Structure 1
Amino acid sequence: MENAALLKAIIENAIDGIITINERGIVETINPSACKLFQYEPSEVVGNNISMLMPQPYRKEHDHYINRYQTTGEAHIIGIGREVTGLRKDGSQFPFRLGVSNVNFSGRKIYTGFIHDLSREKEAEDKLKEYASHLEEVVEERTLSLKQSVRELQRAKEEVSQSLEKEKELGQLKSRFVSMASHEFRTPLSAVQLSASLIDKYAEPLHSPQISKHVNKIKNAVGNLTTILNDFLSLEKLEAGRVEPSYTTFDLIKLAEEITEEMQLMAKQNQNILYQHTGTSSMVQLDINLLKNCIINLITNAIKYSGENSFIEFNTEINSFGCAVTIKDNGIGIPENDQKHLFEAFFRAHNTGNIPGTGLGLNIVARYAALMNGRVDFQSNVNEGTSFTISFPAQ
């Protein structure tokens, strides 16, 4: 009796549903878990055919098996050991795994069905399939998008290649034109400069201030045009990568004194260039032509942007760290908002007014200095002047 009570308690409290039927498929017992799964009270199931818990086509097949048993005496239980579908009282269906065992008891066979609900597993499986399907759609969509992007990138690459080829051709044309124009313009400018000098010489006995005035205008105009041509030619060579430093050892003081003498002739009335050197050594190893171009460019700017009756300080220094060249003026200065663009090609500060210039000089100075591993620094205040320093590390 104690074992029977224990067995009954186990069946009553089992998580899975347990149903026993006889050889004709009539339900004899059903535990609470099975009642909960099928939504029936025990009294509504016990004594009825198990097919009441089966949806079609399982019910029809089960009826066929029962008829065969009644005719042949051979039993067959549908769904043994596989997943089947159950029918609830409200007409809804749910999946479950069915395990069946048969026992001979009191001279007859009793079949026990063990029902494990698969609703959550199937729901999770369906969600997984849905997610997988969604992922496949996303992957397909992304793949199509990537293919489209690749095609667009390919087209863009071809367009860029064509544009670069055209730009290269235009660059070559521009380079040839600038080179040709610069050289061709030099010849008539030289002739104009020579003629102006001769006119000035021949008119000297006349002591005519008007002749001297106009001759000076011609000379200044030729000088400005020559500077413009030199700037364009230098920029063209830099852009084409045809400028390579040629290092030699030379006397920096001697070069600076020659430049000072040359630039003093171009200075405005009572505008004096004061040169000074600091350091016991005067020898440096740089590209003398690139350095001379940088210094002349900076002094030319100091002359242009400073007034008459002013001083331009030109200093050189050689120490253990390297050498430095500084040109300082007390001219119009550079507005603070313009200073960040100062070394850009063709940029000119907003306060330059009608003062002639191409906006290339400082760009060329910075690039020439960089070719010699140097750098350009400056300080400037509007109406107080500007100081430029080119620094080169020790060799």
Structure 2
Amino acid sequence: MKKASLMHALVHNAIDGIITIDDHGIVASINPTACRLFGYKEAEVLGNNVSLLMPMPEKEKHDFYLKQYKATGNAHIIGIGRELIGKAKNGTLFPFKLGVSEVEYANKKIFIGFIHDLTQQKIDEARLKEYASHLKELVEERTKTLNKTIKALEKSREKVRQTLEKEKTLSHLKNRFLSMASHEFRTPLSTVHLSASLIEKYAEAYGNANITKHVGKIVNSVTNLTTVLNDFLYIEQLEIGKVVPRETCFDLVLLASEITEEMQLLAKPKQKIIYSHSGEVQEINLDKNLLKNCLINLISNAIKYSNDTGCIALTTEIDDQQCIIKVKDDGIGIPIDDQPHLFEPFFRAHNTGTIPGTGLGLNIVARYIALMRGQVSCSSSTEKGSIFTLTFSKLCEK
């Protein structure tokens, strides 16, 4: 009794449809899942031929297959899983997998059909097939595009090579011109500078303010042009890789003090350059000449872009981890929109006006600092001026 109850519960709650028929094809039982699949009530199916649940032509062939099996013993679907099409009460067709087993009960043959709905599986397979087809088309399209691109690249490769050769030639000519201009112009400029200084000296006896004024203009112009040529020379040397850092251990405080004294002589009459150092250590391991060039460049900019009574602060700090050098001024500052481009070659801020400059100085500073494995940054505003910070981590070994 318990086994019968268990069997009934298993069949009644099975997730697949289960139908039993006799050897004439008449439905003896059908579980709730099969009823839901075919859309019939149990009473509508019981006692009817199972072909009720089949569409044409399987409906016509079913009884023939059953008679043939009884006569010959050759199974058509018994013991073999097959995919078939079922017909619901409302005429809807749906795919399912059928497995049929044969059992003998009370001296009678009973056929049990296990029905597994394949509707969702077929939908998923169709979607997968459609996706695979779409993917194939996409791959073919991309392959065609890639092949066209490769062919275009192959055609343009020679043009690119020729263009690169021309660029190399032009770059070489540019570097040669910069080198020649920097060297060849330096001698006549030195002569002009010396002659202007002599004129000023010889004219002292005449006490003519106009002579002193115009000599001063000549000297300033020569100085500015010399600075331009020096910038071109530095850029040319960087471009061809001639600038190689030569690190030595030197007294940073002594170097900064010397630079402060030198730059004070070049400052505007009422400008002040103040230097201070913090930390017990004074020595650092860097390229002394490159660092000096950077500091002179930054202080020169501070002088140039500050008013006649401005104060420029040079500070150095060395601790166990790093060395920090700052150049601070209270000049015109740098507009915030210009700051991202500050270290680009030939870039000048929009508020520089008629103040002379090439826009190369800060680019040279940034490249020198990078060669020494340091970092340069700027904090600036048009209200408070600018602070340029150089940071290095390599110190002299104790």
What's the counterpart of residue 122 of structure 2?
Answer: 126
Contact 1:273 1:312 in 2 (8 A): yes
Paired AA for residue 116 in structure 1: F
What's the counterpart of residue 231 of structure 2?
Answer: 231
What's the counterpart of residue 182 of structure 2?
Answer: 182
The reply on whether 1:18 has 2:16 as its aligned counterpart is no
Secondary structure class of the residue paired with 1:214: helix
User: Distance in 2 between the 1:277 and 1:85 partners?
Assistant: 93
- Report 1:372-387 matches (<5 A): 372-376=372-376, 382=382, 386=386
Q: Cα RMSD (Å) of the superposition?
A: 5.1
Contact 2:369 2:375 in 1 (8 A): yes
- Report 1:32-43 matches (<5 A): none
User: Distance in 1 between the 2:68 and 2:391 partners?
Assistant: 110
With over 3 angstroms needed to count, the CA separation of the structure-2 counterparts of 1:136 and 1:211, relative to structure 1, is same
Contact 1:38 1:86 in 2 (8 A): no
| Alignment gaps of 5+ in structure 1 | none
With over 3 angstroms needed to count, the CA separation of the structure-2 counterparts of 1:98 and 1:259, relative to structure 1, is closer
Secondary structure class of the residue paired with 1:232: helix
Tell me the CA shift for residue 279 of structure 1.
7.7
User: Distance in 2 between the 1:272 and 1:93 partners?
Assistant: 97
What's the counterpart of residue 348 of structure 2?
Answer: 348
Contact 2:102 2:111 in 1 (8 A): yes
Secondary structure class of the residue paired with 1:16: strand
The reply on whether 1:139 has 2:141 as its aligned counterpart is no
Paired AA for residue 119 in structure 2: E
User: Distance in 1 between the 2:54 and 2:200 partners?
Assistant: 125
Paired AA for residue 357 in structure 2: G
Normalising by structure 1, report the TM-score. Answer: 0.68
Contact 1:246 1:287 in 2 (8 A): yes
How many residue pairs are counted as aligned between the two chains? 376
Secondary structure class of the residue paired with 2:21: strand
Paired AA for residue 190 in structure 1: S
Paired AA for residue 135 in structure 2: V
User: Distance in 2 between the 1:63 and 1:318 partners?
Assistant: 102
User: Distance in 2 between the 1:43 and 1:269 partners?
Assistant: 115
What's the counterpart of residue 117 of structure 1?
Answer: 115
With over 3 angstroms needed to count, the CA separation of the structure-2 counterparts of 1:317 and 1:156, relative to structure 1, is farther
- Report 1:323-342 matches (<5 A): 327-335=327-335, 338=338, 341-342=341-342
Contact 1:315 1:325 in 2 (8 A): yes
Moved more, 137-146 or 321-330: 321-330
With over 3 angstroms needed to count, the CA separation of the structure-2 counterparts of 1:78 and 1:102, relative to structure 1, is farther
User: Distance in 2 between the 1:325 and 1:26 partners?
Assistant: 100
User: Distance in 2 between the 1:276 and 1:50 partners?
Assistant: 105
Tell me the CA shift for residue 346 of structure 1.
3.3
Secondary structure class of the residue paired with 2:185: helix
Tell me the CA shift for residue 355 of structure 1.
1.3
Tell me the CA shift for residue 227 of structure 1.
0.8
Moved more, 129-138 or 272-281: 272-281
Contact 2:196 2:215 in 1 (8 A): yes
What's the counterpart of residue 303 of structure 1?
Answer: 303
Question: Percent of pairs identical after alignment?
Answer: 43
Contact 1:275 1:315 in 2 (8 A): yes
Contact 1:65 1:76 in 2 (8 A): no
Contact 1:30 1:42 in 2 (8 A): no
Moved more, 367-376 or 143-152: 143-152
User: Distance in 2 between the 1:331 and 1:49 partners?
Assistant: 103
With over 3 angstroms needed to count, the CA separation of the structure-2 counterparts of 1:188 and 1:39, relative to structure 1, is same
What's the counterpart of residue 221 of structure 2?
Answer: 221
User: Distance in 1 between the 2:323 and 2:86 partners?
Assistant: 96
User: Distance in 2 between the 1:327 and 1:45 partners?
Assistant: 100
Tell me the CA shift for residue 218 of structure 1.
1.7
User: Distance in 1 between the 2:296 and 2:321 partners?
Assistant: 24
Secondary structure class of the residue paired with 2:353: coil
Tell me the CA shift for residue 228 of structure 1.
1.4
Secondary structure class of the residue paired with 1:234: helix
